[in-house]
Copies of this chain bind each other. A is one copy, B any other.
């Protein structure tokens, strides 16, 4: 089943915003067997929207628009699409009541602004797709010429509407054929090393195709089956994953959306170990990754962001002499930080990070990107010195992932597999 997207917004054309919505929508649609065959991006201009939607409807009979459903003057998508269908916008009392209820529930002061009322003006005959995350409803218009679905441009609202409201309806029309992907996530191994390992089994994966997706977090391997019934596609993907996984351990940590932080929490729970963190250059990112996982409190005790050397000594009990002799970015200090965090939080295991994220603070000995990691568990200590590329944000993200991976591998037991960084 073919779909066209019309994405709306001056910021998209100006290049100030990347069109992540279009990409998210395309992936969601693929999962239920619909293929995006064309995407048109126009400004918040009623004439341009009308022309683009009418042309897309004529070609493909199924069109999804994103953006232009907000409460302000530059939001004209509803009006433009209503004109394509030759219907009026009318005040929807039920929807208006819902908006007013939401306004009060969020505890906002005074009456709801007039601007919000315009969001209850809906095209006659449109089906409302519920958007509990925002004030703009999704809308579904349909007549003999085909379907136009209007979705809001706010990314998290769009993603939820696409998954919860649009995908099930599209799946029904697409008649059972799907495009399915499965992702095997690895970290600590380079793309070219992975290619050397996976190369020999690649022919066995057909008709599934394989893509390497490197990022700061590692390299994801995506296998895709491009058509067929769901059960058949799932079996193909299952066989492909089974062929690859043995070649990927110990760098493999999970599938699809698996988060390394969640894997660490699982391993810690299995080992009966309570976790703590001590962070310098990552400044709270390791703790933030762990606490992003629901239920983290069962396993994660807490952490210290020891930015100042005074905090390293005062809070974590790092000896003044260690700092004076070796400097804050050193193996002895990062080991003392990890043990200090264990002691301080009464935790069974801790990870510590100290490094130079830049842009300043580098020296010839310890250039920007130098990071020391230490893990402490039972009577085991592990340390790792990294030389990370990139700017401050990249170095912090890479160091955070490497710290979580150190914890994972320590909790999984002894291993000699080498580690590279991303």
Interfacial chain B residues near A114, Cβ < 8 Å: 196
Q: Does A125 contact B (CB under 8 A)?
A: no
Query: Quick check: B302 and A302 within 8 Å, CB to CB?
Result: no
Contact string against B for A residues 149-176, beta-carbon threshold 8 Å, 1 for contact and 0 otherwise: 0000010100000000000000000000
Whether A302 and B291, one on each chain, are in contact in the complex, defined by CB atoms closer than 8 angstroms, is no
Measured CA separation A23–B223 after assembly (Å): 27
Cα distance A140–B71 when bound, in Å? Answer: 43
Q: Are A74 and B211 in contact (CB under 8 A)?
A: yes
Q: Does A305 lie within 8 Å of B277, measured CB to CB?
A: yes
Q: Does A224 belong to the interface (CB within 8 Å)?
A: yes
What's the nearest-Cβ distance from chain B to residue A223, in Å? 12
Which residues of B sit under 8 angstroms from A236, Cβ to Cβ?
Answer: none
User: Would B71 and A192 count as touching, CB distance under 8 A?
Assistant: yes
A358 CB contacts on chain B under 8 angstroms = 294
Q: Which residues of B contact A315 (CB under 8 A)?
A: 302, 304, 315, 344-345
Q: Is A138 an interface residue (CB 8 A)?
A: no
A76 at the interface (CB under 8 A from B): no
Determine the chain B residues whose CB is within 8 A of the CB of A288 once the complex forms.
282-285, 288
Once A196-B115, A303-B284 are accepted as A-B contacts, the answer to whether A26 and B13 lie under 8 Å apart by CB is yes
**Assembly CA distance A292 to B346 (angstroms):** 29
List residues of chain B with CB within 8 A of the CB of A116.
192
Closest residue of chain B to A119 (Cβ to Cβ) is B192
Inter-chain contact B305/A211, CB cutoff 8 Å: no
Residues 290-315 (chain A) with a chain B CB within 8 angstroms: 290-292, 294-297, 300-308, 310-311, 314-315
B30 to A22, Cβ gap below 8 A? no
Contact (A305, B292) CB under 8 Å given A40-B40, A48-B38, A394-B156: no
Instruction: Decide: B30 and A15 in contact? CB cutoff 8 A.
Output: yes
User: In the docked arrangement, what's the CA distance between A71 and B284, Å?
Assistant: 34
Q: How far is the CA of A258 from the CA of B87 in the complex (A)?
A: 43
A19 at the interface (CB under 8 A from B): yes
Q: Is the CB of B296 within 8 A of A301?
A: no
Interface flags for A198-228 (1: CB within 8 Å of B; 0: not) read 0000100000011111110000001010000
Give the number of chain A interface residues (Cβ < 8 Å).
113
How many Å lie between the Cα of A284 and that of B302 in the bound state?
9
Known contacts A38-B40, A286-B284, A10 near B211 by CB under 8 Å: yes
**Copies of the chain in the assembly:** 2
A260 CA to B306 CA, complexed, in Å: 22
The verdict on A318 contacting chain B, using a C-beta distance below 8 Å, is no
- With A10-B224, A11-B211, A305-B277 as known contacts, state yes or no: A418 contacts B109, CB within 8 Å: yes
The answer, yes or no, to whether A84 is at the interface (CB within 8 Å) is no
The smallest beta-carbon distance between A23 and chain B, in angstroms, is 4
Of B17, B19, B72, B190, the residue contacting A195 (CB under 8 A) is B72
Across the interface, which residues of B come within 8 angstroms of A40, CB to CB? 38-41
In the A-B complex, the 8 residue pairs with the smallest Cβ-Cβ separation, listed nearest first, are A283-B291, A15-B26, A284-B284, A284-B287, A15-B23, A302-B311, A113-B192, A284-B288
18 A–B contacts, CB within 8 A, in A order: A10-B211, A14-B36, A15-B26, A16-B27, A38-B41, A38-B52, A39-B41, A74-B212, A113-B195, A156-B391, A282-B288, A284-B303, A291-B305, A292-B396, A295-B360, A297-B307, A302-B307, A304-B304
Besides A115-B195, A294-B358, 6 new A-B residue pairs in contact (Cβ under 8 A), listed by A number: A11-B211, A13-B36, A13-B39, A14-B36, A115-B196, A301-B311
A interface with B by C-beta (< 8 Å): 10-20, 22-27, 30, 35-44, 48, 52, 70-74, 105-109, 112-116, 133, 154, 156, 179, 181, 190-193, 195-196, 202, 209-215, 222, 224, 277, 279, 281-288, 290-292, 294-297, 300-308, 310-311, 314-315, 344-346, 358-360, 387, 389-394, 396, 418, 420-421
